[in-house]
Amino acid sequence: MTRSNTISRRSLLKSGAAATTVAMVPFWAGAAQASCSTLRAGITGYNVINTLDPGQMTLIPEAYMVWGIFNCLLKFDEDMNIVPDLAESYESVSPTVLRFKLREGVKFHDGEEMTSEDVKFTIERLQDEAFGSPHRSKFSAITEIRTPDDYTVEIETEEPFAPMLSYLTNTRTGSQIVPKHILENGSNEDFASNPIGTGPFKLVSHEPGAALELAAHDAYFEEGLPKVQTVEVPLIAEESAGVTALLGGSIDVTSTAPFADVPQLEEDDRVQVLKQAGTSTRFVSLNNSVAPFDDVHFRRALSYAFDRQAMVNVVLFGEGRAANGIIPSSISWAATQEPPELVTLNQEKALAELEKSKYGAGTEATVLTWGSSWWKRFAEVFVLQVNQVLGVNFKVEVSDSGTVYQRMQTGDVQASIWGWLGLVDPDEYAYEVYHTDGARNFENYSNPEVDKLLEAARRETDLEARGALYREAEALAIEDCPVLPCFESNVHNLLAPDVEGFVQLPYSAFGAQLSAVGNC
Amino acid sequence: MPSSLKYFLTRLSGSLITMLVGTIVVFLVMKAAPGDPALIVLGDYATDETVAEFNRKHGLDAPLMSQYLDWLGGLIQFDFGQSLSVSSGENIGDLLLYRLPNTIFVGVYAILIAVTLSLVLGTLAALNRGTSVDTSATSLAVLGVSMPDFWFGYMLILGLSIGLGWFPSYGFTPASESLAGAFYSGFLPALAIAAPMAAVFTRTLRTALIENLDREHVMVAKAMGHSGRFRFLHHVFRNSLIPYITVVGLQIRYLLGGVVIIERIFGINGVGSLMVEAAFARDFFVVQACAVVFLGIVLAVNYVVDLICAMLDPRRVR
């Protein structure tokens, strides 16, 4: 947590450089553009980082940093295809056994070599109940990990389990490879603040709530990476302060952008705006076991009764797209391609379904939401539209996210505004939300046919066939309207005009992408 | 006991009682707030067992009264406990120790700016009553009071950082690293906080000076042949300082409110931004610690203001 004195030394260097150029240029705004030994990559919109231990991370900014400090066996490329990372190659030996061939000569930040023992240790640590990892359930399907030699790992699951490959990528899944030689005898608490990984960057300092500093890992296994020597990561809680920091030349990259500012920033030649539809889903969650949402006709009437594009325009200022289902469009091999009729505004059909329903106009219900800004607006836009189209009498109740989540888990809710962000496997959306036993199924939804398809998808290792199963399952689920899919929001990065080499991924892989930045 | 000592002791015990009541209020308000730090830390992955374990680990399952007494007992020994969800496991005392100097620096810097501005503008306005100088100074003051500090902060960034490039648009160099850097990078935030305060100070000083300029003893001094300069410094200005300093002391509360917002906008790693973040994350212990620190500062400043006023006007003590 101690802030090293490099900052003042740097300021001095820059003030020296600035003095020789133009007198009126402030010393730390101007000079940094010239060379790129230091990249200033601001995490915007968040400033809480409680742990940098991948096995314990839950928050988005924690993941941003973990992605740059560690590697997984696999990773996603720009088109969201799974490609090798610490593994050189992989194959399925049998439907239940995956075999990974590891790269040789990969070094942890402390110089020790990474071997199959570290992989085995990492996954067993995640499975260990005493460690209490929030990611434990993802790896409970694994029954055995074998290490025939230093560079071979075999992972066996009880049944064929297709999502496992996604869970072994460098995303929010916690499977980043940690060093056995340190954690075997060391404490997990120490590791959380002094993480040692194989990634392109090592942690130099972390000042809670304020900034982190990373330095290049010179022995990094990818040739020529990272391109910068130092990365400073200020934690900027206010997104709008991130924009002014970038415009004023105090930082080079942001991790997000305020939606409302994006159209204007796109016109501004002082900034590069990167954006695309992110891996996220936002929906209205309906408690299918309480009135009035226990009636499928009433749920269908609601789904017909609001315009999703209007939501995108009002809630996201256009920075997103109307959803076709809950599997995000960026997972293109599994997402529903065309908007199903039931997720499209149609006043006549809405009223026809209401006619068939045991509840009529004037039905009252409360829609729970949270926060003060767009989540609240999201609920209001939904309620306003359905009240107008169906003549029902819905109300918005505002709480905070923790409370909403708790009430959803305990079923103490009629309807709520909810969503998931950054999950990378369709199973994490479709199975977990639509399956009777799904961990995120707070709707008490159950359809045996949907369950069967989702279970088959879990076992199917052929990507195309698996994607088809998810589409089929989702098409059936949408007929039942357990949730009302609404929209997916864009991910954004703002870059200073000179920054080159930053590639944006749909799950916003911030830390991992900084190693390729060559100019700033 | 001499009456002056008794006066100071009474005021001191009053402050301590206020402090104690303050801790109770802060504690209860945080307990009544909706939200659960366990759910924030554990995020999407919270289960009943992990939440219960979290609460047990941090003593949040104990009865309310014993939680309060534990906390108070720690406070007396300057032990604020550990952060729950803002910087999990970090000692709050360390967090504060690191951040408090930044907040105090910007706060004192803002007061210096506000006092300097108001002494110049207030005096000019009072001595040139009814002229265009007075009108300009008073108009500036109205403008200052009317501008919200967060808005003014962004305007300063837009104009002086992004537009003219004179100041950094984000970030603050702590004084411990570079004093010059702290004055430079702290100028805009200090000015944003100082503007509304300077306006209030100016108006207070102007009113007090004008009132005293018309007093009889000033006319007597004039009749005795004292110079204008002497009359102003000894008879007018000194008497006007009491309401002025009282107002400066009272404004500390607003200063702290401003600091909370301005620290976030300018990225100053201070107690104000820590408190906001902790409130969002339902980190009870950190919010309570920050509130107690702020309360302590307000009470200490008020106490010092009382002392100064008593020195300026010894009649108050009797």
pLDDT digits (tens, 9 = 90+) for B68-122: 998 899 888 888 888 887 777 788 988 898 889 999 999 999 999 999 999 999 8
The shortest CB-CB distance from B50 to any of A50, A132, A208 is to A132
Q: Which two tokens stand for residue B24?
A: 């109770």
pLDDT at B48 over 80: no
Compute φ and ψ for A83, nearest 5 degrees.
Answer: -130, 160
**For residue A216, is pLDDT > 70?**
yes
pLDDT of residue A1: 39
For residues A396 and A299, what is the distance between their CA atoms, to the nearest angstrom?
17
Q: How far apart, in whole angstroms, are the C-alpha atoms of residue A109 and residue A200? A: 9
Would you call B36 and A403 a contact, using CB atoms and an 8 Å cutoff? yes
Amino acid, single-letter form, for residue B240 = S
DSSP letter for each residue of B63-111 = -HHHHHHHHHHHHHTT---B-SSSSTT-BHHHHHHHHHHHHHHHHHHHH
* Contact between A29 and B177 using a beta-carbon 8 Å cutoff: no
Q: pLDDT category, B1, cuts 50, 70, 90? A: low
**What pLDDT, on a 0 to 100 scale, did the predictor assign at position A461?**
85
In chain A, the residue whose alpha carbon lies closest to the alpha carbon of B38 is A402
Closest chain A residue to B282 measured between Cα atoms?
A: A402
The C-alpha torsion from A193 through A199 and A204 to A208, rounded to 10°, is -40
A486 and A282 Cβ atoms separated by less than 8 Å: yes
Give B-chain residues touching A432 at CB under 8 angstroms.
none
CB B165 to CB A24 under 8 A?
yes
Q: Which residue has the higher pLDDT, B218 or A414?
A: A414
Nearest residue of chain B to residue A8 (CA atoms): B177
Q: What is the pLDDT of residues A381-392, one digit of tens each?
A: 999 999 999 999
Of the candidates A88, A80, A44, A394, the one whose C-alpha atom is nearest the C-alpha of residue A246 is A44
d(CA B22, CA A177): 48
Chain-chain contact of B169 with A48 (C-beta, under 8 angstroms): no
- Give chain A positions within 8 Å (CB) of B161: 29, 244, 248
Which residue in B198, B222, B223 sits closest to B142, CA to CA?
A: B198
* A28 contact B CB<8A: yes
Query: What does the alpha-carbon distance between residue A54 and residue A13 come to, in Å, rounded to a whole number?
Result: 35
The more confidently predicted of residues A47 and A468 is A468
Q: What is the DSSP string of A260-298?
A: GGHHHHHT-TT-EEEEEE-SEEEEEEE-TTSTTTT-HHH
> pLDDT tens digit string along A142-189?
999 999 999 999 999 999 999 999 999 999 889 999 999 999 988 898
pLDDT in tens, A83-97: 999 999 999 999 999
| Spatial separation of the C-alpha atoms in residues B70 and B127, rounded to whole Å | 57
Contact indicator for A292, A460 with CB cutoff of 8 Å: no
In a 13 Å sphere around the CA of B232, the CA atoms on its Cβ side amount to 10
User: A244-247 contacts: CB < 8 A, separation 24 or more?
Assistant: A244/B154, A244/B157, A244/B158, A244/B161, A244/B162, A244/B169, A244/B170, A245/A42, A245/B169, A245/B170, A245/B171, A245/B267, A246/A42, A246/A271, A246/A494, A246/A496, A247/A271, A247/B162, A247/B169
pLDDT at B46: 67
| Contact at CB, A244 and B177, closer than 8 angstroms | no
| Among chain A residues, CA nearest to B53 | A132
Largest CA-CA distance found in chain A, in angstroms, rounded: 79
For tokens 């790129």, the residue is A36
Kindly state the tokens that stand for A246: 């970038």
Average pLDDT rounded to a whole number, residues A23-32: 40
Give the least confident one: A188-202, B112-126, B222-236.
B222-236
Torsion of CA A146, A148, A153, A159, to 10 degrees: -40
Give me the pLDDT at residue B88, please: 75
Nearest CA in chain B to A246: B169
| For range A279-287, the mean pLDDT | 94
On chain B, the residues whose CB falls within 8 A of the CB of A241 are: 170, 264-267
Structure tokens at A111: 């110089």
Lookup: tokens for A104? 């040789």
For A108, how many CA atoms within 13 A lie in the half-sphere containing its CB? 19
DSSP state for residue A327 in the 8-state scheme: S
Residues A393-406 have a mean pLDDT of: 87
Instruction: Give the pLDDT confidence score for residue B133 in this predicted structure.
Output: 86
Give the nearest partner residue to A51 out of B88, B167, B281, using CB atoms. B88
pTM: 0.81
Which pLDDT belongs to residue B44? 61
Contacts of B178 in chain A (CB under 8 A): 8, 11
H-helix or E-strand spanning residue A232? strand A230-236
Of all residues in chain A, what percent carry a pLDDT higher than 70?
93
Task: Supply the pLDDT for residue A35.
Answer: 52
Q: A489 in contact with B at a CB cutoff of 8 Å?
A: no
Residues in chain B with CB shorter than 8 Å from the CB of A248 are 157, 161-162, 165, 168-170
Residue B300 has pLDDT above 60, yes or no: yes
Collapse the DSSP code of A322 into the 3-class scheme (helix H, G, I; strand E, B; otherwise coil) and give the result. strand
**How distant is the alpha carbon of residue A270 from its chain centre?**
28
The minimum CA-CA distance between A49 and chain B, rounded to whole Å, is 6
Spell out which residues of chain A touch residue B166, defining contact as CB-CB under 8 Å: 24, 26
Helices (H), A347-447: 347-356, 374-390, 401-410, 426-434
Contact list, B156 vs chain A (CB under 8 Å): none
Q: Is 50 exceeded by the pLDDT of residue A23?
A: no
Instruction: Give the residue on B whose Cα is nearest the Cα of A131.
Output: B50
Binned at pLDDT 50, 70 and 90, residue A59 comes out as: confident
Q: Is the Cβ pair A209, B169 closer than 8 Å?
A: no
* Position B182 pLDDT exceeds 70: yes
Q: Is the pLDDT of residue B2 over 80?
A: no
CA distance A129 to A132: 5
The pLDDT of residue A321? 94
Q: Do A11 and B181 make contact, defined as CB atoms within 8 angstroms?
A: yes
Is some CB atom of chain B closer than 8 A to the CB atom of A30? yes
Distance between CA A176 and CA A37 in Å, rounded?
27
